[in-house]
Amino acid sequence: MKTKFIFITGGVVSGLGKGISGASIGALLEGRGLHVSFMKLDPYINVDAGTMNPFQHGEVFVTEDGAETDLDLGHYERFTNAVLTRKNNFTTGQIYDSVIRKERAGEYLGSTIQVVPHIIDEMKEKVRESTEKADVAIVEIGGTAGDIESLPFLEAIRQLRHDYGRENTLFIHLTLIVYVGNGEMKTKPTQHSVGKLREIGIQPDILICRTKDPMPQEIKKKIAMFTNVETEAVINGIDVGSVYEVPLMFHQEGLDDKIVEYLNMWTGRPKLHEWAETVDRFRNPVAEVTIAFVGKYVQHEDAYESLNEALIHGGIANRLRVNLQYVDSEELEQGKISQFLEGADGILVAHGFGERGTEGKIEAVKYARINEVPFFGICLGMQMAVIEFARNVAQIPNASSGEITPDHSENVIDLMPEQEGVEGTGGTMRLGGYSAKLKKGTLIASIYESEDIVERHRHRYEVMNRFLPQLEKAGMVISGRHSERDLVETIELNDHPWFLGCQYHPELKSKPLKPHPLFASFIAASYSFRQSLQQAVASVEKD
């Protein structure tokens, strides 16, 4: 079957949820038995998301093949079975870089290189290459209709409709219904946003209107009249308690029926029972746990998007509400340990780069180790756990990391010899999927129910093997290794109820319908810790 294309654009304001909408549409179509793929076209000039400030751009999502991409690819993978690659995210910078390289190599035979046709043709070709094996390709255009930087992408999808025809292409536009005065709904911004698209030749087929409340039928009719869209194609995008309710909400609105009608596709009814069960488990927990989330970018939650969601998935797996208590690691450096960590049922120390806040993360590890609070360290979090144990247990008092103290004799974390002198952004990093062999009989092997795993990485520094005998003698268990290069992948402590660190990012593979086992186990352990404390308090009160 020829690939059908759904192009998603946004208007009025940014941040309306195009990524969640696209992911939810993918989930609905996948539920109908279709093979779905995704693509995100970002208008910024950066060549990739890897060096962008997380406060500005949010999380960097890493694909299995090691691409550093936009966080929306995380939404796509969480909501569906799609496994995306570097071909599924392109920026304006990448497009121009590709065209310039071709021009330098003489591929254009001396032609004058222009936005039309060369840049636009490159964009179209990237869309085709990344989606050719899918039944339906969902392509999201970053930015807002009317922005100068997104105009080339809009022209590219306009031409793709011309190339493939109306039955094979569908335009969905996401807008905002504005409330004024006493709560009156205003549609003019939506009308103007659609007008911007129509000026360049794109007529939306479906409108998804973000709104707090369902739109009355007369509002839908008004929008339809002034945007040239069918009334039944004006869809409520109502605010919901969890993003995982969006597929069910869209289905209730009839969005998936409208899509397959417009694309002239025959499918069965979607199988959504797993989504319904997941939403029910989220809405109706039997209890709750509080997790102290220790990081350096906690003021901007998008910087930890996948990690936030994976913790929620762990709660769904256990039918528990997960309350995240965000802790800026720099606050812990000021002696505020009890203020931020007491009362937590589990402590997670997150990933990050750079020296800032590392001593606070080390203090969080120490608190969790001494007080036997369930601890989970991810990437830099694991490295800080190794440093804390080395300093306070393994008698390496000045243990540190090459990221903090370069050329220091007691750097238990440092660059590998082959990484020295490598130039270029990301050149020294381990990116994407790497295998690990787990030690039989360890906690982590029992959680995975396997001794062979593949997980995604994004880091530069490694645990130095020359310190391992001293660490292991003091009681640290090196429970997982990357065999090919003999690199430490996971650590744990036998004399602690639940203490795990992993060099990789398990959150990148967690889904609401299939929570990652490490997060499910961590949340379960945190709940057990909470119950034991409650029982202890009850026993004291009884006496």
Classify residue 115 by its DSSP letter.
Answer: I
Tally of helices (H runs) and strands (E runs) in the chain: 19, 23
SS3 track for 458-480 = EECCEECHHHHHHHHHCCEEEEE
| Annotated active-site residue in 57, 379, 489, 502 | 379
Alpha helices by DSSP H, 305-350: 305-318, 329-332, 337-341
SS3 track for 171-216 = EEEEEECEEECCCEEECHHHHHHHHHHHHCCCCCCEEEEEECCCCC
Give me 346's structure tokens. Answer: 């589990």
Three-state DSSP state, 271: coil
Give me 241's structure tokens. Answer: 């308690």
The strand pairing partners of 37, in sequence order, are: 137
For the chain, the straight-line distance linking the first and the last C-alpha, in angstroms and rounded, comes to 73
| Annotated active-site residue in 388, 462, 492, 507 | 507
Distance of CA 149 to the CA centre of its chain: 24
Q: H or E segment at 447?
A: helix 443-448
Q: For strand 320-328 and strand 287-295, is the pairing parallel, antiparallel, or unpaired?
A: parallel
Is 333 a known active-site residue? no
Is 379 a known active-site residue? yes
Distance CA 523, CA 307 (A): 13
Distance CA 172, CA 516 (A): 32
| Annotated active-site residue in 118, 482, 505, 516 | 505
Is 410 a known active-site residue? no
* Tokens 């208590």 found at: 325
What amino acid positions are annotated as catalytic residues?
379, 505, 507
